[in-house]
Structure 1
Amino acid sequence: MAIPAQSAPARLSKSLGALLGVHAGDSLGATLEFDSWRQIKKDFPNGLRDIIGGGMFRWPAGHATDDTDLTRAVLLAYHDRANQKVLNASDDEFDVARAVADWSLDWYEGDWPGREKGQPPRDIGGATRVGLLNYSDLRDPRKCGAGQGSAGNGSLMRCIPTGLFTHGRDERIKESKEISAITHDDNRCVVSCAAYNEIVAALLDGKPAQTAVNIGIEVALEQDHHDVAKAIERGRTMSISRIASEGPGDELPDRTSGYVLQSLTVAIAALLDPRSLEDVLVDVTRIGGDTDTNGAISGGLLGARDGVEAIPGRWLSTLQFRAEFETLARDILDLESSPTKGLSASYKKRHGLS
């Protein structure tokens, strides 16, 4: 399917902004993960404004945590699909959920950049571990989720490539839910991913943030999940700057613990904050708690809103997968742009095929 009407440069900027916004928010927040608002205020009175690494897991500056690593797994699956459709001219239906599960299992088993073969991840959520272990045994991505009641944010943090690279609403919702359910099949998680990706798709099409949020609420209600709709609505009234300045208080009593609906609310509040991407993400991580994942989820929306140019250059220069994410995104968009005409000139040039 051809890319929708918005200009190719604008779509590329927003797609790169979304992917690298996830990475930047993740890497910025990794330093502060599990710290309280009070501790962060003491250590960084004006917030942490640079990607410096460290934190509980002693990350190198700009290194991907599980948030960005698993976003990479989803992105690689969509790259595989684009290649199959164009390079192989195959009529076989590509199972993107299975491809995501396969790449995610590679990550879990240590077949991943930056790690020795077989070395386990430094950090992994409980539902993600259960889902990938189940997949390792069953090899069925539709029967391996951790089950109802496991409603962490571990699928929301990785879901954004679906919003970027699937161009029909029904198909986007279907893929968002199936990819979430590999590990997080609780209804709150699968519907949050579907609503989030419709917001992303609306932002890519140039719709204002408020309109995109309305679309997310519509999707949640269509999926008959009022709690997800309420979580999005709640983001309209939440002030990221005030909470960052005064503390979570009653609005976020458990310091953004990793509950999917709380992370969704924070991301919506971030998206609707009119300040710069940098200022908003710094404040998101100042709140404390699950700072890397809230930074990743919020950063994806802000990057889709503002484009890659809004991400500070000093952040971009540190990111482990910056060059790869840029190449993969450009490849997918190039391969989609003229599927009946063969490979684009820019794709051939990048891969030495011209």
Structure 2
Amino acid sequence: MIPKFRVVYSGIDHSRQSMSSSNDLRISRTLGALLGVHCGDSLGATLEFKPWSQIIRQYPNGLREIVGGGTLNWPVGHATDDTDLTRAVLLAYRDYEENKQAGSIQLVEEFNIAKAAAEYSLKWNEGDWPGRKKGTRPIDIGNATRIGLQHYKRLKNPAKSGVGIGSAGNGSLMRCIPTGLFASGERRQNESIAISEFTHNDLRCTVACAAYNEIVAALVNDKTPQEAVEIGKTVADDLDCAKVTDAIKEGETLPLAKIASEGPRGDIAVSASGYVLNSLKLSIAALLDLRSFEDVLVDVVRIGGDSDTNGAIAGGLLGARDGIEKVPERWLEKLQFRKEFEEVVMRILQLQQDSG
């Protein structure tokens, strides 16, 4: 039986039916997670850097369409650095699985996921990227990401290139979700940390990525949102980062709808800045808000601030929770990388199934 969305969504190979129906949920939630990142990024790009007070006047019910524009004048549905760098990590996982298929144990043992992701990120930074004139730099890049990629270009060692203690932006959390979707067991935590480290190696960033990806994996495996959050807290505890544990706990208590309608006031401990733990809190609040994918994501981005990145991080969890069928089609049809993401997801999942 071909899963329903494989008929509806254009980027998927309709002719292949070898993926069993028991995998339908995983496929739906994997696609939902990746395209949820893209939706949150592209929706939030319009409002990036704007305060809640300005957004609420312009969009009293929130921005409900992907329209582009914003401070950096994005084309409609275009990826910003959030989706672009998620793509870099996604392609690294595709390459890993293709090396496995080649059948060489040496190739698999020598393949470094973090290095592959860093290489794709470096291509992005230096202008070898779809949708951009060759050789041109990205118009939106965080300082830690920029410095980390400069170091990586010189050192070619992802474990030694990142910006360390004291720089805890959300630039690795925004791109980390492919690890939660495609790595299993002990690999997942190790690779979450390693892929963060090549730009962001502050403990708050590396552990936030590890906890977030365990939450993603739990959701894809049909855990409830609350069960998934409990797993995330356990991971943060095991990795000895109380600040990440506390951020997840604070996210559990945030009244997202109230914050979005009344503003991030002083009596509610929330900020829409680019600090990694602020973004993590908001994503947890979004995950536990059981309204529709659309309503929750609209509220995340209308808080303002770092709206594209907060939207991307929250969108990933919401998509992993709800599956691709709950993501608005009118949003999906505008996304720059929709077709490619669909095709790469199916490629990776097929390769993983074939290799057992």
Indicate whether the TM-score tops 0.5: yes
Q: Secondary structure at the match of 1:319?
A: coil
Q: How does 1:119-158 map to 2 (within 5 A)?
A: 119-158=136-175
- Whether the 8 Å CA contact 1:6–1:205 is kept in 2: the answer is no
TM-score (norm 2): 0.92
Deviations, residues 170-209 of structure 1 (Å, cap 9, x unaligned): 2100000000001000000000000000000000110000
Deviations, residues 30-73 of structure 1 (Å, cap 9, x unaligned): 00001000100011110000000000110001000000000000
Q: How does 1:301-340 map to 2 (within 5 A)?
A: 301-339=317-355
- Whether the 8 Å CA contact 1:231–1:262 is kept in 2: the answer is yes
Q: Secondary structure at the match of 2:106?
A: coil
What is aligned with 2:60?
45
2:203 to 175, 187, 194: 187
> Alignment identity in percent?
61
Q: Tell whether 2:181 aligns with 1:164.
A: yes
What is aligned with 1:260?
276
Deviations, residues 308-328 of structure 1 (Å, cap 9, x unaligned): 111100000000000000000
What is aligned with 1:16?
31
- Whether the 8 Å CA contact 1:36–1:255 is kept in 2: the answer is no
What is aligned with 2:238?
222
Distance 2:268 2:216 in 1: 24
How far did 1:7 drift?
2.5
How far did 1:253 drift?
6.8
Q: Which runs of 5+ in 2 are unaligned?
A: 1-19
1:29 to 12, 25, 44: 44
How far did 1:239 drift?
1.0
Distance 1:88 1:154 in 2: 34
Which stretch of the first structure deviates more once superposed, 129-138 or 6-15? 6-15
The one-letter code sitting in structure 1 at the alignment partner of 2:144 is A
Across the two proteins, how many residue pairs are aligned to each other?
A: 335
User: Cα gap change, 1:300/1:109 in structure 2, threshold over 3 Å: closer, same or farther?
Assistant: same
Q: Tell whether 2:243 aligns with 1:247.
A: no
Distance 1:39 1:9 in 2: 42
2:102 to 80, 87, 93: 87
- Whether the 8 Å CA contact 1:101–1:132 is kept in 2: the answer is yes
What is aligned with 1:212?
228
TM-score (norm 1): 0.93
2:296 to 280, 293, 299: 280
Q: Which runs of 5+ in 1 are unaligned?
A: 341-354
- Whether the 8 Å CA contact 1:6–1:206 is kept in 2: the answer is no
Deviating runs (4+, > 6 A) in structure 1?
Answer: none
Deviations, residues 287-311 of structure 1 (Å, cap 9, x unaligned): 0100000000000000000001111
The one-letter code sitting in structure 2 at the alignment partner of 1:41 is I
How far did 1:252 drift?
6.2
- Whether the 8 Å CA contact 1:255–1:288 is kept in 2: the answer is no
- Whether the 8 Å CA contact 2:271–2:278 is kept in 1: the answer is no
The one-letter code sitting in structure 2 at the alignment partner of 1:82 is E
The one-letter code sitting in structure 2 at the alignment partner of 1:139 is K
Q: CA RMSD in A?
A: 1.3
User: Cα gap change, 1:31/1:220 in structure 2, threshold over 3 Å: closer, same or farther?
Assistant: same
What is aligned with 1:352?
none
Q: Secondary structure at the match of 2:149?
A: helix
Distance 2:223 2:272 in 1: 29
1:74 to 80, 84, 89: 89
Q: Secondary structure at the match of 2:314?
A: helix
Distance 1:21 1:215 in 2: 21
Distance 2:41 2:142 in 1: 15
